[in-house]
Amino acid sequence: MKIAIASGKGGTGKTTLSTNLASYLSENNKVVLCDLDVEEPNSALFLKTEIIHQEKKYKGIPEWNKNTCTLCGNCQEVCNYHAVIQLGDTIMVFPELCHSCYACSDLCPTNSLPMINNETGTLTHFKTNTFDFVESRLKIGEEQAVPLIKQTLKYIDNNFSDEFHKIYDSPPGTSCPVIESTKNADFVILITEPTPFGFNDVKIAIETMKALNKNFGIVINRYGVGNDDVINYCKKNNIPVLAKIPNKKEIAELYSKGELLWNKIPEVKTELENIKNFIFSNIKN
């Protein structure tokens, strides 16, 4: 089963839930946790891990061969992202802007723009005592997160059978990187806070999941602060609220130190159990 954990806005407890749920489920199940928040991967900070494999990830970008180029201008013409530009008698490539569509390279009449590998980040496969953990980290300066997310998902598919419960810590927001991270999930958990910010952002996340036709539910973090808008909205729209994680300074303190919660705070364990029961009884497989 594939479970994605997402949120409309950052800092609502996505990583807390992902790491704790993975650890909790791994007591009785085969689990792999995958940190797809490649811009700010944080899951590793909460886990005791050992690296078992690491690889650099690349995207293809064109490299100009000045000796064969006839300066026909076709490459600049076909690039929709202005990632290749003709300046006088030079062709310049801007790797951060390139989407690796291959158009300039394939359509160059003299094959003067062969695609080469450009590093976008690093994928690391770790083991904890009870489960596997894979993270990818975007190189600073690289602007496109989606290609790295796709490659990471491929790594998971190639290395872990369907026996595994796969938990994806997704990037925040509702744009491309989130769509990529959630589109193959069997179930999406949206985590939010019961505040006006949380409410505003989760409504957008809910619309997104509906548009993607996803099976999803809500987890409320820092329950007890703010107001009941989120809960009332879910009730009215028949959206299941799977769990309510209480607002406690103790939780914030454990989090600040990078510690897991479920084995120290009984209420958190109960809430994880609620999540597990809901998902396992609603999703067959």
- The residues of the shown chain that bind another protein, judged by CB under 8 A, are 8-12, 15, 39-40, 42, 45-46, 78, 80-81, 99-103, 106-107, 138, 140-145, 171-179, 183, 195-197, 200-201, 204, 207-208, 211-212, 222, 225-227, 249, 252-253, 255-258
Per-residue mark of binding to ligand SF4, 41-80 (x: CB under 6 A) = ---------------------x-x----xxxxxxx--xx-
* CA–CA distance, 79 with 185 (Å, rounded to integer): 33
For the chain, how big is the Rg over CA atoms in Å?
Answer: 22
**Cα 206 from chain centroid (whole Å):** 17
Q: What is the dihedral of CA 272, 277, 283, 285, to 10 degrees?
A: 100
**CA–CA separation, 185 and 84 (whole Å):** 36
CB closer to another protein out of 164 and 233: 233
DSSP lists the bridge partners of residue 91 as 86
Write the interaction track for ligand SF4 spanning residues 74-93; mark x where CB under 6 A is met and - where it is not: xx--xx-x-xx------x--
Min dist. Cβ of residue 282 to another protein (A): 24
**Could you tell which of another protein, ligand SF4, none binds residue 91, using a CB distance below 5 to 8 A set by kind?**
ligand SF4
Shorter beta-carbon distance to another protein: residue 229 or 280: 229
Distance CA 194, CA 222 (A): 7
Task: For residue 153, give the 3-state DSSP assignment.
Answer: helix
Contact by Cβ (8 Å): 111, 121: no
Q: How far apart are CA 177 and CA 264, in angstroms?
A: 33
Residues 4, 31, 36, 104: which binds ligand SF4 (CB under 6 A)?
104
Nearest residue (CB) to ligand SF4, 98 versus 190: 98
Q: Which residues of the chain form contacts with ligand SF4 (CB under 6 A)?
A: 62, 64, 69-75, 78-79, 81, 83-84, 91, 98-105, 108-110, 112-113
